[in-house]
Structure 1
Amino acid sequence: MYFESRAQAGQLLAAQVVDKYRYENCAVVALTEGGVLVGEQIAAQLHCVLMMLVTENIDVPGENLSFGAVSQRGNFTYNSEFSTGEIQEYTSEFHGYLDDQKREAYSRINRLIGDGGTINDMMLKDRIVFLVSDALADGAALSVAFDFLKPIRIERLVVATPIATVSVVDQLHVTADELHVLDVKENYLGVNHYYSDNTVPTRKEAIKKISQIILNWR
């Protein structure tokens, strides 16, 4: 399945949830800047807040693999798709490098959060939380989000994304209360492959969209 844009994909997802959640106490949390474009459409239909969980991925050196990610709380969460043995092996081999990358990532996040912030724990408490991305290729971003939400009492966790891999969907059937995926991919070719328009906001532009979501309620 292919989409004109992330906004168009977000409209399709919004159509799936609006009847059920339009008058509920909801909050949309985007996991990426591209996810803000998807989540913006859902939040506009549900008349709810839009936020973004800012994270920084830490990759395994020399490999196109996410070892985990640092959240804006400073917590580091391992990619759930790694086994305990693999985590121990990479940690042992790249210990100094990974520690440096974590510190640098947290510093970058702090500089961004200082510009206005992107998420408010109290605005999530006792709400139905929608985690939204423009694509979920692996469990890395979700692992960070689940870790971030652990200390917050929420009513229900809904995950919505236009595209997800088979492994992610299998994980979400266990970890989410509800799942909305427009297309499940066995052979994932990268997020941009599935959108004709790959214009994605910068983080500052994404924050501006978050602050203006109320103006776009429909």
Structure 2
Amino acid sequence: MLFTDRAHAGQELAKALSDLAGQPELIVLALPRGGVPVAAEVAKALGLPLDILLVRKLGVPGHEEYAMGAIAGGDLIFLNQQVLRQLKLEQTQIDAVIERERAELHRREQRYRGERPSPELNDRNVVLIDDGLATGATMRVAIRAVHQAGARSVTVAVPVGASDTCDELAMLVDRLECPYSQSDLGGVGYWYDDFAQTTDAQVIQILQQYRAGGASE
């Protein structure tokens, strides 16, 4: 165990990102739901605006915790071809998972954002934050999404992650910050004392505290 909870992990991650404090044209984007309380602590410590980037893991049918890919808004899809080959999944099975997660993505977009527009990312410096990196499927599609949106630079920051995943994703971004890179991760939750699922209500509450102008007390 490295962290008591996600807030503690965010406080530790903020230390590793302290050089970004107050930088203009920089925005922190959390991957809901678990990344939101982590990113909130980073945004608060560094005086940066906080928003979300909605991404959904595509879980293997019957073993949903095992990612076969991920999906983001704008119909961005990443599929792990190695996993698909190993499991010999039918296209109909894959399509069913994509449609289910696309519906959940839309539900969360409405619930979390309401009438507020998505942040403008063109020519901005983006920090993508989650509570950890295992396979990296969701973060990979998040990176694609912000690049497609015209981000000037992309930083990925997580408190803990699988070292091989961190190495792979580091080649896709300008900077990757992972204070605790583990050769044998054993699951992100293993490194937290409290890894209870972040709820919709918690996400909404945190987002209400942070608006585009930066952290609000």
Q: Which runs of 5+ in 2 are unaligned?
A: none
Partner Cα separation in structure 1 for residue 91 and residue 183 of structure 2: 33
Q: Quick one: structure 1 residues 110 and 173, their matched pair in 2 at CA, closer, same or farther if it must change by over 3 Å? A: closer
> Matches of 1:193 and 1:43 in 2, distance apart?
25
1:100 correspondence with 2:88? no
Partner of 1:112: 108
Q: CA deviation at 1:37?
A: 1.1
Describe how 1:1-218 pairs up with structure 2 within 5 A.
Answer: 2-63=2-63, 65-79=66-80, 82-83=81-82, 87=84, 93-117=89-113, 121-214=118-211, 216-217=215-216
Q: Which runs of 4+ in 1 moved over 6 A?
A: none
| Aligned counterparts of 1:184 and 1:68: Cα–Cα separation in 2 | 22
CA contact (8 A) 2:20 2:46 kept: no
CA deviations 1:88-144 (Å, max 9, x no partner) are 675x63211111221121112212222242895543222211111111011201221
In the aligned structure 1, how far is the partner of 2:134 from the partner of 2:108? Answer: 25
Gaps of 5+ in 1: none
* Identical aligned residues as a percent: 26
**Quick one: which amino acid aligns to residue 13 of structure 2?**
L
Query: CA separation of 1:136/1:41 partners in 2, compared to 1, >3 Å: closer, same or farther?
Result: same
Check conservation: 1:66, 1:140, Cα contact below 8 A: yes
Shift of 1:216: 4.6
* Aligned-pair CA distance for 1:62: 4.4
Describe the shift of the 1:17–1:189 C-alpha distance in structure 2 as closer, same or farther (beyond 3 A): same
CA contact (8 A) 1:56 1:71 kept: yes
Give CA deviations for 1:130-182 in whole Å, capped at 9, x if unaligned.
11111101120122102212321212111111101111121133111112111
Q: 1:200 to 1:24 in 2, by over 3 A?
A: farther
**Residues 154 and 3 of structure 1: is their aligned pair in 2 closer, same or farther, counting only changes over 3 Å?**
same
Judged with a 3 Å threshold, the aligned counterparts in structure 2 of structure 1 residues 116 and 142 are, in CA distance, closer, same or farther, namely closer
> Residues 137 and 164 of structure 1 are in contact (CA less than 8 Å); yes or no, is this contact kept in structure 2?
yes
Conserved? CA contact 2:56–2:70, under 8 Å: yes
* TM-score, normalised by the number of residues in structure 1: 0.85
Q: Partner letter of residue 74 of structure 1?
A: D
Aligned amino acid, residue 58 of structure 2: I
Distance 1:116 1:139 in 2: 23
Decide which structure has greater helix share.
1
Question: TM-score under structure 2 normalisation?
Answer: 0.85
Count the aligned residue pairs.
213
Alpha-carbon offset, residue 4 of structure 1: 1.6
Distance 1:20 1:88, change over 3 A: same
Instruction: Answer whether contact 1:26 1:46 (CA < 8 A) is retained.
Output: no
Mapped partners of 2:34, 2:144: distance in 1: 21
TM-align CA RMSD: 2.5
One-letter code aligned to 1:44:
K
Work out the CA distance in 2 between the residues paired with 1:191 and 1:12. Answer: 16
| Native 8 Å contact 1:166 1:185 kept in 2 | yes
* Residue 39 of structure 1, CA deviation: 0.4
